[in-house]
Amino acid sequence: MADSQTLAAQSNDGSFASLWDELKWRGLIALSTDEDELKSALAAGPITYYCGFDPTAASLHLGNLVQLLTLRRIQLDGHNPLLLIGGSTGLVGDPRPSAERTLNSKETVAEWVDKLGRQGARFLDFDGKNAARLVNNLDWTAPMSAIDFLRDIGKHFRVGKMLSKDAVSARLNSEHGISYTEFSYQILQGMDFLELFRRYNCVLQTGGSDQWGNLTSGTDLIRKVEGASAHILATPLITNSDGQKFGKSEGNAVWLDADMTSPYAFYQFWLNVEDADVVDRLKVFTFCTKAEIDDLAQQTADAPYLRAAQKRLAYEVTALVHSPEAAQAAIDASAALFGQGDLQALDAATLESALRELPNTQVTAGTSIAQLLVDTGLVASLSAGRRAIAEGGVYVNNEKVEDETAALESWLSNRFAVLRRGKKTLAGIFRA
């Protein structure tokens, strides 16, 4: 259930004539079905809408966060969200552009369904007149026989149109080809929308623009089977100003699970957003008002070195995903690591996660500080390490090292130490 302390109490702050106008201003509409009809349906509301998340990993990630916050914005406007976790589609996997997915065991997928459901549910309200519902598509696919699936659902899909979908055509033209398993994914997703339309009168699906082919499978199926119209709202693929896919760092996703991406690392990720991208990130990933974002944009233009927008962004998103306490702990850890706070006062778990993000080494007590500088890559040689100490630029746990031959004897929580050269170059020391 959503935490009222970390999620905005209202969507439209008065700056916009409608939810649609706010979504447009935030850059959240890339594609949609008939814009006028969808805008009218949202204005007349409430409507029931959904977004699906497949358990292909043990955590949701930043790409999923775009959809979760979009679900939240629409709910705040008075509409009824369905949070779908793909217990069946997760067993199949949607086609990737590159190669076939590795299929996970049913036990693993079931475990991830539970984890992702709990993760996603934190962003929505499950009480009140427009309460959210958590649904699992395995509930309606598992009882269906293969014959029923082919007769009742498969007959409505034309292979030629299925082959034209971007994800499918990309794979057909690759050296890997595509299996029937992944080829059938779009049928399963289309059946989801049809089932939700029948059960809950769900008339809108949201998702990423890269999923447009799968999204339209549902509207086409509803039109053919029920003779009714339904809608799609697709958000744009979030990229950096240089065109790189946002949220990827050397192939590693930024996860929403604290055990997979620590709150400290999560906070630092947002803090390091480029000036050229920070205003767009504030629009998409926070509930800051238009006036607040406009003000932060002006501050970035006038005094970019203060990084006011990045600091606000990092706090807001970390508070949303983890908690205000976790966000503040990350701020305190950053300050303490650079000598502007009390390292001893930091929570041990926060400190450890921060040090894991730095160059680090594991040593026994008594290792020389000069050697630690070498082991962590802060200097190139022992002589350079001794020289750095002699010049007064080396600190252990924010205490200046005066003796070139000094050894490490002081630990934080009896487990860690913070090694710093100069004002900004840090490393973590872990006790063996």
Tell me the β-bridge partners of 426.
420
Residue 354's φ and ψ, nearest 5 degrees, are -65, -45
pLDDT for 178: 80
Q: Assess contact for 70 and 235: CB atoms under 8 A.
A: yes
Residue 3 pLDDT exceeds 70? no
pLDDT for 250: 45
pLDDT tens for 230-249 read 999 999 988 877 777 776 55
- Measured torsion, CA atoms of residues 211, 217, 222, 225, in degrees rounded to the nearest 10: -170
The arithmetic mean of pLDDT across residues 272-292, rounded, is: 96
**What single string gives the DSSP state of each residue in 225-291?**
HHS---EEEEEPPPB-TTSPBTTEETTEE-BSSTTTS-HHHHHHHHHT--HHHHHHHHHHH----HH
Q: What domains sit in the chain, N to C, each tagged with a CATH number? A: 19-237 (3.40.50.620), 239-346 (1.10.240.10), 358-432 (3.10.290.10)
pLDDT tens for 76-130 read 999 999 999 999 999 988 777 666 778 889 999 999 999 999 999 999 999 988 9
Residues in the chain: 432
pLDDT for 176: 76
Q: Assess contact for 182 and 95: CB atoms under 8 A.
A: yes
- What is the percent of the chain where pLDDT is above 70? 95
The arithmetic mean of pLDDT across residues 369-381, rounded, is: 95
Of 174-188, 274-288, 293-307, 401-415, the one with minimum mean pLDDT is 174-188
pLDDT for 5: 43
The arithmetic mean of pLDDT across residues 407-425, rounded, is: 91
Cβ neighbours, 10 Å, residue 377: 12
Of 56-65, 150-159, 311-320, the one with minimum mean pLDDT is 150-159
pLDDT for 180: 82
pLDDT for 6: 45
Distance of CA 120 to the CA centre of its chain: 11
pLDDT for 158: 87
pLDDT band at 4 (very low <50, low <70, confident <90, very high): very low
**What single string gives the DSSP state of each residue in 13-56?**
-SS-SSHHHHHHHTT--SEES-HHHHHHHHHH---EEEEEE--S
pLDDT for 159: 86
pLDDT tens for 18-55 read 999 999 999 999 999 999 999 999 999 899 999 999 99
**What's the whole-number average pLDDT of the chain?**
90
Closest CA to 166 of 186, 194, 181: 186
Cα-atom radius of gyration of the chain, to the nearest Å?
25
CA angle centred on 354, ends 356 and 247, rounded to 5°: 85
pLDDT for 252: 66
Give the end-to-end CA distance of the chain in Å, rounded to a whole number: 41
Q: Assess contact for 238 and 246: CB atoms under 8 A.
A: yes
3-state SS of 366-423? CCEHHHHHHHCCCCCCHHHHHHHHHCCCEEECCEECCCCCCECCCCECCCEEEEEECC
